[in-house]
Amino acid sequence: DFVNREFEIIKKKLGFPVTNEYEAIFVYKGKGNKVELIGDMTNWQVFPMALNKVEITDLFYLKRHYEKDARLDYKFLIDDTTAILDPLNPKTCEGGFGANSELKMPGYPEHLEVNYYENIAHGEIIKDVIECDAIKDGKKILAERRVAIYLPPNYDETKKYKVLYFQDGSDYIKFGKTKNVLDYMIDKREIEPIIAVFVDPVDRDDDYVLDKKDVYVDFFVNKLVPWVEENYSVRDDAEGRALIGPSYGGVIVTYIVYKYPEKFGYILSHSGAFLCAYDKHFGETYGKKISNAPYPVKIFMVVGTYELDLISPNMWFYYNLMKNLSVKAVEFRKYPQGHSWGLWRDTLREGLRWLLKEDTK
């Protein structure tokens, strides 16, 4: 009874996980003989961490140290079989595989831009489909590819707008809160009003990584971009176009510029899965070829220090870009986070500010 009373007091007063500057205490109360922490901090189920059981109770706990500004996704694994959200933590982060519990350390900055505000002007999302050739399961098919267009508040057809092209488009809208971010940045005059195009893959591996990805690249450059320019009032020069993508999408945006260096002026790569830039799918040496290829862009790279498989390939790619004298500018930033939409959502604003800062001088 004493333990239960103390537990309820702490739960009401502090919430869980309990955190101080560099420390987090995870607590689980409930059924199970074995409880483990899995998440960004354990490379998910690669290095699970067992919680300690308080004898003669149903309480388990684990104390760990993290960076004061870390943000990490996690779950509890019960009896080696069932992964669940932390029942004591209301904070979650949504992603393509569902929700995870979210640990935010006390020094993690607040990101006001991801919220919806009734008292500011809002852009409009228009959904459409484009019929195109695509590769699915390695075979060429005729597909209807989903696209969505963000038009800024007070869209004016007499003006010519810059365009942001997002890979994994629906996910950027749903999980990346991109419409809220753009509305906020335009309202705060951090960027000029801008159009965004959100395009979805038909088959993510085939479109972004595997040997026939040039079918997607051809669609993107020679069908999607002209379609956007025919239907909306946008600029038609490289300085008017930016490419943005996460993970595999963060690699294909660099490959599109490699194939068509005169077409695009900006890249934002969120946790680019650049390991594949050094394997057979990109011709063994794509990552190295970037050192000497024409590449006249500004590029902003984001990676989490808990992305154990990606941080080194991102650094390799960054160093190859640094050798390239045609690159206009490159910025490489690391954060104490994992491979998560929380990372990509919360770094979109600063990436756009860095890429487009000359717009608001």
Could you give the percent of the chain with pLDDT greater than 70? Answer: 96
Axis crossing angle, helix 341-355 with helix 178-187, rounded to the nearest 10: 30
Between 4 and 361, name the one with better pLDDT: 4
Smallest CA-to-CA distance from 223 within 108, 317, 130 is with 130
pLDDT per position as a tens digit, 296-305: 999 999 999 9
Instruction: Please say if the pLDDT value at position 274 is more than 80.
Output: yes
Instruction: Please say if the pLDDT value at position 320 is more than 70.
Output: yes
pLDDT on residue 360: 46
Instruction: Tell me the mean pLDDT in the region 232-236.
Output: 98
pLDDT per position as a tens digit, 116-148: 999 999 999 999 999 999 999 889 999 999 999
Provide CATH 3.40.50.1820 ranges for the chain.
113-360
Burial class (CB in 10 A: 0-12, 13-18, 19+), 114: middle
Smallest CA-to-CA distance from 115 within 182, 164, 60, 206 is with 182
pTM, two decimals, is: 0.94
Provide CATH 2.60.40.10 ranges for the chain.
2-108
Between 5 and 47, name the one with better pLDDT: 47
CATH 2.60.40.10 fits 2-108, yes or no: yes
Between 281 and 76, name the one with better pLDDT: 76
Using the CB atoms, write b or e for 229-264: b if 16+ within 10 Å.
beebebbeebebbbbbbbbbbbbbbbbbbbebeebb
Measured distance CA(225)–CA(166) in Å, rounded = 12
CATH 3.40.50.1820 fits 113-360, yes or no: yes
Measured distance CA(169)–CA(350) in Å, rounded = 19
Mention every residue, 6+ apart, whose C-beta is less than 8 A from residue 262. Answer: 238, 294, 296
Residues in the chain: 361
Local structure of residue 224 (DSSP, 8 states)? I
